[in-house]
Copies of this chain bind each other. A is one copy, B any other.
Amino acid sequence: MPNLRVHNLTVSLDGFAAGPRQRLEHPLGEGFEGLHEWMFAAMRDRADGKTGIDVEYVERSEENIGATIMGRNMFGPQRGPWQDESWKGWWGDNPPYHNDVFVHTHHLRPSLAMEGGTTFHFTDEPIETVLGRAYEAAAGKDVRIGGGPATIQQYLRAGLIDELHLAIVPELLGRGERLFDNLGDGIDGYRVAELVGSPAVTHARLVRR
C-alpha cells in the first residue's frame, strides 16, 4: 500500500512551522528565513559526496514519491480570487516536483503543465478526494504533502498521514503558525518513532501508533 508522507518539515524550537504575515517578500512568514538552512546545507553536502544524518533524511524525502499535495499558500503569496493566472509558483519554469501536484484552493484555475513533468492541479475537493486522486496519479508510489502547516494539520487531524518527519532547529520564532495545533484527537493516532540529533538540528519521525 502506498503511503502519505511529510518530510523535512522544519519547526523552530518553540514549535512554529511558519512565521507570521506570509507574503511575497516572506514566503514562509517573517523570521522564518534561514530556518531551512540545515536542508540546503545537507543538499550541498550530498552534492559534495558527504554523508550524515541530515543528508540521509533529505535523501529519504525524495525516494518513491509519485505525487504531491500542497496548500495554496505554499503555491503562492496571493490570497482570495486570482487577479490573473500569470503566477506559476515560486519555483521557476522547472519546479522540483516532476509529478502531479494537487493544490488545495477555493479559487480554481486550469491545470498548469510545467517543464520537467510537474503539473499543478487546483482543487477545492475534500482532502479524502484529493488524496485519492493523488494516489491514482502516483501509480503505486507514495504521495508527499509539501505543506504548509495548515494543510498538514488537516491531513494529520484526519489520520491520513502515514509518516511525518520534522526537523527542530535551534531557533526561537516567538510567533507564527504552530505545527502541533488544531489536531483534535487525531494526534492520538500517532507516536514518535525516532528522535535523533545531528550537529545542526533534531530530527523526529511520527508514525501511526
Write the residues of chain A forming the contact surface with B, with a CB cutoff of 8 angstroms.
13-15, 168-172, 174, 178, 180, 183, 185, 187-188, 190-192, 194-197, 201-202, 204, 206
Contact = CB atoms under 8 A, between A and B. Distances in A.
Contacts of A15: 14-15, 178, 180
Nearest to A166: B13
Given A174-B185, A180-B15, A195 B202 contact: yes
Contact of A197 (B14, B172, B183, B196): B196
Q: How many copies does the complex hold?
A: 2
Contacts of A196: 197
Given A168-B195, A172-B188, A172-B190, 14 more contacts: A13-B204, A15-B15, A15-B178, A15-B180, A169-B195, A171-B191, A172-B180, A172-B187, A172-B191, A172-B192, A172-B206, A195-B201, A195-B202, A196-B197
Contacts of A195: 13, 168-170, 197, 201-202
Contacts of A178: 15
A164 to B, nearest CB: 11
A187 B202 contact: no
5 contacts: A13-B204, A170-B192, A172-B180, A172-B206, A195-B202
Nearest to A193: B170
Contacts of A204: 13, 170
A19 to B, nearest CB: 13
A203 to B, nearest CB: 9
Nearest to A31: B188
